Amino acid sequence: MREVTDATFEAEVLGAGGLVLVDFTAEWCPPCRMIAPVLARLAAEHADRLKVVSLDVDRNPATQSAYGVLSMPTLMLFEAGAPVKTLVGARPLHRLRLELANWL
């Protein structure tokens, strides 16, 4: 999974044109570590239509603040540069698939 920063967020996420799932994460966050393999699997399954990236909130506070992210992990789905779905907390792969089914 590619990591984005405050400096690369606009190009990597907002300018991507398609679907991008952003994992707002932190190194100190156990649920973030739990969901990482789930996101890697989802990215592999939908590599043709979904880009999955992570953003460390401790190192990139401007983007975290701009999108009002208060809890980690927060997953935010962007479509053509606009946020269309926000999910807070870790979840198993089957639940994540269901919650994103309208886009995948």
pLDDT tens digit string along 22-75? 999 999 999 999 999 999 999 999 999 999 999 999 999 999 999 999 999 999
Q: Of 4, 19, 20, 29, which residue is the catalytic one?
A: 29
Residue 23's identity, in one-letter code, is D
Does some domain include residue 104? Answer: no
Contact 1, 33 (CB under 8 A): no
Structurally, the chain folds into a number of domains equal to: 1
Shortest CA distance to 35 belongs to which of 85, 78, 73?
Answer: 73
Looking at residue 17, which CATH number applies to its domain? 3.40.30.10
Residue 15: pLDDT band with limits 50, 70, 90: very high
Residues 84 and 103: beta-carbon distance below 8 Å = yes
Backbone φ and ψ of 48, nearest 5°: -75, -20
Q: Is 29 a catalytic residue?
A: yes
Please indicate, yes or no, if residue 103 is contained in any of the structural domains: no
Owning domain of residue 17? 2-98
Separation between Cα atoms, residue 44 and residue 26, nearest integer Å: 22
Residue 80 lies in a domain: yes
Pick the catalytic residue from 32, 35, 39, 76.
32
Q: Residue 7: pLDDT above 90? A: yes
In a domain? residue 92: yes
